[in-house]
């Protein structure tokens, strides 16, 4: 698993992440919730290895991320960032194929093409394959980027757990594609993947997550199952706004509504 142990990140004298410990356990989807500036994206950067912690450690299978060979790490861990800027006039299929870069010396071109097509189908983006990527809407681009990270981790010969880190993956998606993306991500946990998703919508987190992490001010306030964490008191303290919590009528999950 990817394990963060008492990690901290400081910039300009401010603690963006302050003593956070968190495990990305294979077979689970973890959702991180919190207000703007809570440190969620900074935590993603630490968990992905994009930045080194100023304190504590982040390890994959007991080894610090910095000690992993970049190619080996890329085959085990993929990150969908909050915003991906790409101005080159690449086709959608070419963008998704970027995810196969860590595998190109290990798989034939035909195998890589099949995997990319499978990822585009899963992300509901196969019909966009011939389009110019910059011409797409924000939501369409996000689905293509999701296909890219799926293709990056798709390796039938790999028996070790894969780790998929998603930073606000649903921000630009419509309702249908929000449900599809998180439903697919949760389905991957049944294949032994570990998924972490930073989300703004507590109801999406309540439906799809196995574990909820509430952050504020760079610290973790609560961690646990949706019902144990998503209480009016905990959510109100996290977001500094009163909320109401009831039970959905269609499944045993919390329903969160901001108070007027």
Mean pLDDT value across the chain: 95
Residue-level pLDDT at 53: 96
**pLDDT surpassing 80 at residue 208:** yes
- In angstroms, the Cα distances linking 1 to 7, 68, 127, 164 are 16, 14, 35, 11
* pTM score, whole prediction: 0.94
Domain 2-61+160-258, CATH number (from 3.40.190.170, 3.30.160.270, 3.40.50.280, 3.40.50.300): 3.40.50.300
Rounded distance, CA 219 to CA 201, Å?
19
H-helix or E-strand containing 178?
helix 175-189
Rounded distance, CA 7 to CA 53, Å?
6
More confident residue, 88 or 247: 247
Q: How many CB atoms lie within 10 A of CB 180?
A: 18
pLDDT digits (tens, 9 = 90+) for 118-149: 999 999 999 999 999 999 999 999 999 999 99
**Structural domain spans, the chain:** 2-61+160-258, 85-159
Rounded distance, CA 68 to CA 70, Å?
6
Residue-level pLDDT at 211: 97
pLDDT digits (tens, 9 = 90+) for 23-74: 999 999 999 999 999 999 999 999 999 999 999 999 999 999 999 999 999 9
Residue-level pLDDT at 28: 97
DSSP conformational letter for 249: S
């Amino acid at each position: 698993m990817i394990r963060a142990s008492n990690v901290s990140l400081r910039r300009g004298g401010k603690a963006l992440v302050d003593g956070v410990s968190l495990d990305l356990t294979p077979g689970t989807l973890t959702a991180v919730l919190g207000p703007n500036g809570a440190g969620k994206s900074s935590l993603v950067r630490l968990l992905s290895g994009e930045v080194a912690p100023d304190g504590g450690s982040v390890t994959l299978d007991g080894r610090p991320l910095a000690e992993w060979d970049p190619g080996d790490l890329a085959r085990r861990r993929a990150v969908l960032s909050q915003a991906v800027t790409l101005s080159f006039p690449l086709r959608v299929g070419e963008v998704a194929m970027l995810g196969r870069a860590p595998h190109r010396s290990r798989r034939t071109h035909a195998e890589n093409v099949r995997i990319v097509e499978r990822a585009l189908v899963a992300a509901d983006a196969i019909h966009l394959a011939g389009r110019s990527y910059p011409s797409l809407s924000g939501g369409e681009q996000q689905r293509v980027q999701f296909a890219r990270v799926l293709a990056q981790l798709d390796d039938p010969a790999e028996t070790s757990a894969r780790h998929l880190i998603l930073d606000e993956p649903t921000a630009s998606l419509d309702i249908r594609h929000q449900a599809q993306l998180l439903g697919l991500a949760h389905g991957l946990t049944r294949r032994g993947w570990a998924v972490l998703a930073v989300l703004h919508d507590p109801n999406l987190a309540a439906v799809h997550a196995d574990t909820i992490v509430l952050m504020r001010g760079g610290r973790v306030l609560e961690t646990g199952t949706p019902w144990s964490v998503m209480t009016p008191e905990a959510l109100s303290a996290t977001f500094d706004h009163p909320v109401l919590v009831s039970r959905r009528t269609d499944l045993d999950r919390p329903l969160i509504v901001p108070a007027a």
